[in-house]
Chains A and B, each alone.
Chain A
Amino acid sequence: MAEDKIRESLLKESKASKREKHGKILSYSAIILIVVVVVSIFLFVATRGIATFTVNKGSIIDFFTKSQWNPGATDKGGHPLIGALPMIVGSFAVTVLSAIVATPFAIAAAIYMVEISPRRGYKILQPVIELLVGIPSVVYGFVGLSVVVPFIRNHFGGTGFGILAGTLVLFVMILPTATSMSVDALRAVPRYYREASLALGATRWQTIYKVVLRAAVPGIMTAVIFGMSRAFGEALAVQMVIGNATLLPQNLVSPASTLTSILTMGMGNSVMGSVSNNALWSLALLLLLMSLLFNILVHRISKKGALH
């Protein structure tokens, strides 16, 4: 009798294990939902984006090498005019240039905040960074439009719209993220590296320059790539200052365009399923693949650079 009871209670699920089961089901379904959403977004963008080349007979080589963008029209061979080179060049130009300009500032600010004056640096720069992160991109674009563009027009000629204006606006936009990630990278360098360096007769600058920065290189690279990925994907602010001309940029002050700016400009003006619409999806697919690439790079670097 008693034995049966014990067996029964052992075989019956306890309350705790039941609850664990419920929790598991809940979190698994949440994960599945997320995966489904991500995969379907990707598939959606991909099928549309690829349709330009399969259904509409666009040439993928033209897409990457030609500079005539007028998807509604066709060339002599009947292929739609989908030369995206100006946008590709524009996107990479503003991304790389703004990262090049932002990196030294981010590193300098991070050194100040971590190595030179941690207390004051933290008090002054931290709120500034948080503020800059919180400003919506339309505000950056507006300031760019009303301050940066006229400034460039007056000092460098041209209309003021172009890669240079885009670069300057993006520089300010990615600076806070790049700075705070660089700060994290410097903070992660163990104190005993600094001590060892100083004990060998290094000055403070030599220690920062030769040990701390060198040990923080992977973290700083991650910060820069993160900034680039943000710059590459930024649409609104860039669109407001770059001029949106689908021409190959001849210089930094002539109107140009980026993948994102043409995408946002064209979105409302095309019918779902039309060639013009599909061509925009091709731009979106390229953006998606690029941000995937940025993410992979970040993971690679942070894995490789992890300090023991």
Chain B
Amino acid sequence: MAMAMTKPTEQAAGTTTQPPIIDTEDVHLFYGSNEALKGISMSFKENEITALIGPSGCGKSTYLRTLNRMNDLIPNVTIKGKVDLKGQDIYASNMDTVRLRKEVGMVFQQPNPFPFSIYDNVTYGLRIAGVKDRGRLDEAVETALRQAAIWDELKDKLHQSAMALSGGQQQRVCIARVLAVKPDVILLDEPTSALDPISSSQIENMLVELKKNYTIILVTHNMAQASRISDRTAFFLQGHLIEYNDTKTIFLNPQKKETEDYISGRFG
């Protein structure tokens, strides 16, 4: 298959001298004997939003989950290749997944707050890390909720159950829950696909704001969303990375025919 052989276009990726925060090389992932990722090499720069796009089942979520080793939880998964976070191999035998996941946070497609109060949700990551000081926890809640642009809405009901919030509010609480741990990288798997347009655009604005302090990797099916907020876009197809470039280039001047076909809606 010719497609399998083509290397992604990377010229735009290497324009700065700053080393990438995440660097993956030739990542293969097998669910049993089914190869879901067929050699993905790409790297992510700090303080950028990268969008991963592609048709359903192409491996976007699978790839995203290799970056914080969430695939470890699935039985019979084999992973080959190299994933470096700040120069350190996260699949090395001495890697502590607990520490890794504090540095690489994750937001899921379905808002999944714990059935606790908003306060307990946001402080969860700190509390499991052993923070007990009430003042520090209070401060962390305010900071995280402010960053998630939901402090004003929720500041008077921090001790109410997070389950009683709207879907959009829940998702922002989930994002705040990740932010409170102060990760370097935030992975988001279709974070707005279960939300209404207004909640979605609030979250988009928030992500653009957050990129000043975080590196954001976002899986999305929404082309408009990818083009609105991402700096760079990667197009996946059947376990391959087809094209990875500036978002502008991907959308206005794609180098590969498959990318062009997908973006113009001819398949997927």
Chain A residues at the B interface, C-beta cutoff of 8 Å: 190, 192-193, 195-203, 206, 210-211, 214-215, 307-308
B112 close to chain A: CB less than 8 A: yes
CA distance A201 to B101 in the complex (A): 5
By a CB distance below 8 angstroms, the chain A residues around B105 are 199-200
* Residues 138-187 of B contacting A (Cβ, < 8 Å): 163, 174, 177-178, 181
CA distance A202 to B105 in the complex (A): 12
Q: Are A201 and B181 in contact (CB under 8 A)?
A: yes
Q: Are B115 and A196 in contact (CB under 8 A)?
A: no
Q: Are A201 and B102 in contact (CB under 8 A)?
A: yes
**CB < 8 Å: which of A199, A210, A211, A307 contacts B70?**
A199
CA distance A308 to B110 in the complex (A): 14
Count of A-B contacts judged by CB separation below 8 Å: 67
Chain B residues at the A interface, C-beta cutoff of 8 Å: 68, 70, 73, 98-102, 105-106, 108, 110, 112-116, 124-125, 127-129, 163, 174, 177-178, 181
Q: Are B163 and A308 in contact (CB under 8 A)?
A: yes
**CB < 8 Å: which of A190, A202, A211 contacts B98?**
A202
CA distance A210 to B116 in the complex (A): 11
Which of A190, A195, A201, A307 gathers most chain B CB within 10 Å?
A: A201
By a CB distance below 8 angstroms, the chain B residues around A206 are 128
Chain B, residue nearest A214 (CB):
B116
9 pairs from A and B in contact (CB 8 Å cutoff): A193-B112, A195-B112, A196-B174, A198-B73, A198-B101, A200-B177, A202-B125, A210-B128, A214-B116
Q: Are A200 and B68 in contact (CB under 8 A)?
A: no
By a CB distance below 8 angstroms, the chain B residues around A196 are 108, 112-114, 174, 177
By a CB distance below 8 angstroms, the chain A residues around B108 are 192, 195-196, 199
**Nearest CB in chain B: distance from A203 CB, A:** 6
By a CB distance below 8 angstroms, the chain B residues around A197 are 114, 124, 128
CA distance A19 to B103 in the complex (A): 66
Which of B99, B101, B102, B114 gathers most chain A CB within 10 Å?
A: B114
CA distance A277 to B106 in the complex (A): 68
CA distance A255 to B217 in the complex (A): 70
